[in-house]
Amino acid sequence: MSDPVKRSIFYGRRQGRPLRKKATELVETVLPKISVPTGDLDDIKLIDLDNLFGNSGREVWLEIGFGGGEHLAWQAEHNPEVNFIGAEYFINGVASLLGHLDDNGAQNVRIYRGDVRDMLPFLPPSSLSKVFILFPDPWHKARHNKRRIVQRETLDRLAELLVDGGELRMATDDMGYLQWMLERTVPHPDFEWIAASKQDWNQRTEDWPKTRYEEKGIKKGCKPGYLRFTRLPRS
């Protein structure tokens, strides 16, 4: 067996208020059944997605930092023919997603509880058709910018994982972070901005439901930005 993988340093909360009884039960009984096995990461081998989901030939979509899980649960319910992986470190968010899945009955979701940067190296190349990074922590202070999930190295890896024509969706209600996203993704050689006009950044598509964090921001007067990029064909 190879040496265990060195895990990324995670910044931010791991747990908030204590979980309620039903949430605790879901975490204890359901989460183990639909978790991405962390043993795969320690053994340094690619995750077998067909085995993970118990089927083959389906598209796989990834949501990075799914928050309360509203968006991921909606996508899973409305796209039952797609396999979903959700990555989230915050246990309260994981419990929230489990509650949504319990309500809508979706069976096509697997959860990685941890820093997604630790999982990305173990996904097979060209295995993802869509990736969502919605309202990530903006880390406002300049000295904390390195903690932002949208970095050149992350985009490089996502470009390797996305199929040709695959889609990367990002959203934020922090205009500084929106500029940061554009400055790193627009010039990236493997991505092309999907926009009929440069004003499309403030419009969601019909298959893009709101998240709880998005609604909170809107109530506070924040104006969200929505970005869609396609993975350019490999030469």
Q: Which residues are documented as binding site for S-adenosyl-L-methionine?
A: 63, 88, 115, 137
Residue at 65: amino acid letter: G
Annotated binding site for substrate: 141, 173, 211-214
Dihedral sign computed on CA atoms, order 107, 30, 66, 3: negative
- Dihedral of CA atoms 230, 79, 114, 158 in degrees, nearest 10, equals -10
Candidate list 102, 118, 137, 200, residue with the active-site label? 137
Helix (H, G, I), strand (E, B) or coil at 209: coil
Assess whether 102 carries a catalytic annotation.
no
67 vs 212: CA distance, rounded Å: 8
Q: Is-contact 132 165, C-beta < 8 A?
A: no
CA distances from 42 to 2, 90, 140 (A): 8, 21, 33
Report the alpha-carbon angle 185-65-186, nearest 5. 5
Q: Which residues of 72-99 are buried (b: 16+ CB within 10 A; e: fewer)?
A: bbbbbbebeebbbbbbbbbbbbbbbbbb
Q: Report the catalytic residues.
A: 137
